[in-house]
Structure 1
Amino acid sequence: MIGSKLVKRYRAASALWLLLYLSMGSVFASSWQDEPEARQQLHQLGLELALADVHPTLTEWWQQAVAESTASDMADDQLLLGVQSFWRHWSDLSFFDRQHLRTRKADLSFSEADRANLKLAGQLKRRWQLVQGLMPGYANYAQLQQQLTRLLELQDVSWPVLRTTTVRPGERMDVIPQIRERLRMLGDMPNAPEVALPAVPDMDLVLEDTGIPDDTTLSESDFTAPDAHDNGVAVSSSPLASSSQPAASQFIDPQLYDSDLEQGIRRFQQRHGLTVDGVIGPQTFAWLDTSPLKRSQLLMRSMMRTLIGDELPSSYLLVNIPEYHLRLYQNQVMVLESNVIVGRDERKTPVMANKITNVVFNPPWNVPRSIINKDIVPKLYRDPGYIERQGFEVLDGGEVVPRFIWQRRLEEGGGFPYRLRQRPGTGNALGAYKFHLPNSDAIYLHDTPTRGLFGRDSRDLSSGCVRVQGAEQLANWLLQDQLSSSRLAALKANRETRWIRVAEPLPLFMVYWPSWLDADGMPQFRNDIYGFDKAMNSPFGAG
């Protein structure tokens, strides 16, 4: 990961270059044109940061370096010094600021030592060493560059809006050929030759045109009736069919939503976190209509966020909020993954770096004041029995408040100044497990009794905490070296609340990555549920 290590390495190299420079005296400086590979890689680094829209000045310097009218050694020098300054700023950012890409106001100034270092590199024709020192630590960096190149090659391709009514397999629509071509360009369908319907024989041909003897009599049985699956195209077995004419089954109706297209749509839906059902509805159309440039920008901004620190611990938990997914790594190997539910937009799950310190078995739920005021109190005016049915206790300090007292106060307009605690049990909102994180926002991970919600595509449903589908497996992993499996099962079965301290607190990173590269190097995309990437400036101007 790029960060303080890169800065230290750069500073050490700078000192060495400066010593060499002072000892050499004046040497004729070469041009960036003499080091084309270094120049090309520098422009690539500038492009990546410009796509991520991390700093307007850096984007401007990249534009000047690559535009034919402004390209020069001075523009390339300025870009390299700017990229160096940017990464120095990045190394000082907190985890929180990196996830939010709070870099647009970064100080991109550079020192005389930076200039001298670059001048010496030019004199020795070793600019590539400076450029190599700025290579970020993205996973699958070569595949990332390939994907960016492929997407940007589509930038000038016409990309009209395809969205129309919902399209289902087996239907015929005018938009189908465009959908098929778009999937091909995005890599979800293999290249295929253009398709066309076969020519239908002209029944008005005179017999001498067919080469059939005059005394030949044609009966109705010489022609086969159209099969419903051939979409009205008759396959003839008569002498009128040329021996070189391919069978109709070899042709594809370009407007038919066939099985090959359905497979491509399913791959596309899987890559975008949608319901994999082959039905082209509003969500699928929305992603089909997302331009290649916007895709490249979303991918690049998320890849920036993956640079979460100089080093990751050997074991840690990663919750990707817009993916609704959790992954547990042990010695850098993933040992558990699970679907999760995160906060809805008005009660966002925050990005954070923290540690799981305790596993709480059969936890009570101390209801946050915001939920009491916004959700529960309005229900009590209509349904005072809601408290008892949900297993809540009304508390004033440490004392339980009888119903007639809190209800009378509520009815008389005195408000509801009490605390609410939900007793452990099958209906408890936290389920059987809570994973405690020391923080002031009362945010933590927990189990849930409403298991059916994990089957949804969009799972931004909670009040900020993270509900974990695989909560029991996570609890067992955290405590496997402390408690036997039978003891763990007994703690869960007993309705008593028990706090168990984790021997080695587990680092937790809640990240915001709406895009990333999968194991095959293909970009994965998810909805930007909290609007982190809502406003993006194009590095190529309007569009």
Structure 2
Amino acid sequence: MFLVRYFCLVIMVLAGGLVQAQDFPDTAAQNEIKAQLLELAVANFNGSYARMYDSLIASENTPSYGEKLMEGYGYIRAFREMTAGIKWSDRQYLRFPASKNMDISKYREEYRELLDTDRLTAFLFSERPPVPRYESYRAALLGILEKGEKKLRRYDFEVLKPGNTGEKVDILRQNLKTLGYLDAILPDEGVFDADTADAVTAFQKARGLTADGIVGYQTYETMFRNRDQEAVNIARTMIRMADPVLTAGGEYIFVNVPDMNLNVYSGGKSVLSSRVIVGRKDRQTPLFTSVLSNVVLNPTWTAPPTIMKKDYAPKLIRDRGYLAKHGLALYDSSGYAADPAWLSDAQIRSGLPGYRIVQSSGTKNALGLYKFNFPNTDAVYLHSTNSPGNFQRVTRAMSSGCVRVEKSKELAEYVLRDTPYSPERIAAVIKKGKTQWAQVKYHIPVYVAYLTAFIGQNGEVYQYPDVYGIDARAGRIPELVSRHFSETGDSE
């Protein structure tokens, strides 16, 4: 350790300045400061981190390098402390306290003490965010940055599928080769053959798309997503996923809205995976964390006020018999059945104040046969559906905010294990059609997240669309960062 600091001191003297030896940690600590600062800078939610990163890299081999390392450490520590107790929803939206005039002076003494006692490197490692497969995310981010932009040829959109021929197919094949999904030695003869279909399928799987081997518009657009967007997506995921529960090895239910999938994790591995339907853009699924409390078998459904006013009111204005035709009933504040024919247009347009619209349990119920409750201020929940065909759609942002789960039966059996509700009893209750509330034994955390990039258990990096446009304004790597990495040109 002494020799490392000695040689650093000599280098700085030769560079034309004298900096105290304790300003220079070992190489591992230097690299860790740069890496953690880079992750915050690329996420592009606050320009301070990009300016600090640029300043640090630019100072290498200059007398100010030691001071910049200390400042970089301060920025990292300030961010970790600032976000340690932040709400999950704020983390998903990257809503952090203003840090324009970040005070890092209080970390100087801490930095020097850690450095002087040879504990700085270990402490920096402990400051890494609690993200599952964190090192894989870091490697993926650096890989994207260091490779630069892959130059692809654009063509006017047209659905391309097996059997198609022509110049556009050749351009597609050349792009697949550039991206590494098709063997470069294969000749381009203008034919969408089996090799092309396999390469498209592999690309679709890696991007979280429907893997059908057909280049539709979503696959086409995803193919031309630039390096910057993918890097920003990964860096933001590294911030959004930072929660100790996710790395503790316990159980939790995880819904990723952009992916439109749900996973139950236990021991760091997915033990149940299901497609889901999430809220459409004008009625977004809220991003939060809670704890599962119970499961309702054969649930009834009470329409939320928003749906009563926006969805049912216009239909009732046109047809007072609409509710009865669709298995719905209207109740007043005393719980008595009411006839919509008694109401004025003005009452209906105002959202039926003092009334409830209720749908009885059964196969026609909008919630399906299972409802999963957990406390939250948005009155949303997981549930099954009476329209299972919608799970086959590529884009499944189509609910009014709640999350519909394709494998709701399997999820119910899993979360109700070790309770009186065995799979056989659940089936019997469902068959009878009567509503029952089943308490869970294990109160499993529920996370609803917004991850536009994700690394699976297979090590693959998946990129997902920004379905709610939350990241739309931050799709570029800050110039102060990108200039320190190679550039090979944008798509043509």
Please classify the TM superposition score into its range, dividing by the shorter chain length.
0.7 to 0.9
After TM superposition, the score normalised by the length of structure 2 is: 0.84
Q: Report the equivalent of 1:306.
A: 241
Q: Report the equivalent of 1:429.
A: 366
Query: Alpha-carbon deviation of 1:155?
Result: 2.3
Query: Alpha-carbon deviation of 1:62?
Result: 0.3
Query: Which one of 293, 297, 312 corresponds to residue 357 of structure 1?
Result: 293
Query: Which one of 21, 36, 39 corresponds to residue 27 of structure 2?
Result: 36
| Structure-2 change in CA distance of 1:156 and 1:326 (3 Å) | closer
**Is 1:171 the equivalent of 2:164?**
yes
| Structure-2 change in CA distance of 1:370 and 1:256 (3 Å) | same
Query: Alpha-carbon deviation of 1:470?
Result: 1.3
Query: Which one of 152, 156, 159 corresponds to residue 145 of structure 2?
Result: 152
Q: Looking at CA atoms only, which structure, 1 or 2, has the larger radius of gyration?
A: 1
Query: Alpha-carbon deviation of 1:329?
Result: 2.8
Task: Render the CA deviation track for 1:369-394: whole Å, top value 9, x for unaligned.
Answer: 11111111211233333211211111
Q: Are 1:362 and 1:498, in contact at CA under 8 Å, matched by a contact in 2?
A: yes
Aligned residues: 455
Query: Alpha-carbon deviation of 1:409?
Result: 2.3
Q: Report the equivalent of 2:254.
A: 318
Q: Are 2:452 and 2:466, in contact at CA under 8 Å, matched by a contact in 1?
A: yes
Alignment partners' CA distance in 2, 1:451 and 1:129 = 51
Query: Which one of 384, 399, 402 corresponds to residue 462 of structure 1?
Result: 399
Percent identity of paired positions between Structure 1 and Structure 2: 29
Query: Alpha-carbon deviation of 1:174?
Result: 3.2
Q: Are 2:130 and 2:243, in contact at CA under 8 Å, matched by a contact in 1?
A: no
Query: Which one of 453, 472, 475 corresponds to residue 515 of structure 1?
Result: 453
Q: Are 1:318 and 1:328, in contact at CA under 8 Å, matched by a contact in 2?
A: yes
Q: Are 1:52 and 1:300, in contact at CA under 8 Å, matched by a contact in 2?
A: yes
Q: Report the equivalent of 1:540.
A: 479
Q: Are 1:436 and 1:444, in contact at CA under 8 Å, matched by a contact in 2?
A: yes
Query: Which one of 337, 340, 356 corresponds to residue 419 of structure 1?
Result: 356
Alignment partners' CA distance in 2, 1:275 and 1:341 = 15
Query: Which one of 50, 55, 59 corresponds to residue 59 of structure 1?
Result: 50
Alignment partners' CA distance in 1, 2:68 and 2:285 = 42
| Structure-2 change in CA distance of 1:486 and 1:461 (3 Å) | same
Alignment partners' CA distance in 2, 1:308 and 1:531 = 24
Query: Alpha-carbon deviation of 1:76?
Result: 2.2
Structure with the greater relative contact order (CA < 8 A, sep ≥ 6): 1 or 2? 2
| Structure-2 change in CA distance of 1:440 and 1:313 (3 Å) | farther
Q: Report the equivalent of 1:272.
A: 207
Alignment partners' CA distance in 2, 1:470 and 1:357 = 19
Q: Are 1:344 and 1:461, in contact at CA under 8 Å, matched by a contact in 2?
A: yes
Name the stretch that deviates more: 431-440 or 157-166: 157-166
Q: Are 1:159 and 1:291, in contact at CA under 8 Å, matched by a contact in 2?
A: no
Aligned residue identity for 1:40:
N
Task: Render the CA deviation track for 1:312-355: whole Å, top value 9, x for unaligned.
Answer: 47222111121111112345443222111111111111111112
Q: Report the equivalent of 2:332.
A: 396
Aligned residue identity for 1:292:
R
Name the stretch that deviates more: 358-367 or 119-128: 119-128
Please give the root-mean-square deviation of Cα atoms over the aligned residues, in Å.
Answer: 2.7
List runs of 5+ in structure 1 lacking aligned partners: 1-26, 196-251
**Is 1:409 the equivalent of 2:346?**
no
SS of equivalent residue, structure 1 residue 359: strand
| Structure-2 change in CA distance of 1:276 and 1:411 (3 Å) | same
**Is 1:528 the equivalent of 2:466?**
yes
After TM superposition, the score normalised by the length of structure 1 is: 0.77
**Is 1:79 the equivalent of 2:72?**
yes
Alignment partners' CA distance in 2, 1:538 and 1:458 = 27
SS of equivalent residue, structure 1 residue 510: strand
Q: Are 1:98 and 1:308, in contact at CA under 8 Å, matched by a contact in 2?
A: no
SS of equivalent residue, structure 1 residue 524: strand
Q: Are 1:162 and 1:288, in contact at CA under 8 Å, matched by a contact in 2?
A: no
List runs of 5+ in structure 2 lacking aligned partners: 1-18, 483-489
Q: Report the equivalent of 1:11.
A: none
Query: Which one of 188, 204, 225 corresponds to residue 253 of structure 1?
Result: 188
Query: Alpha-carbon deviation of 1:306?
Result: 1.4
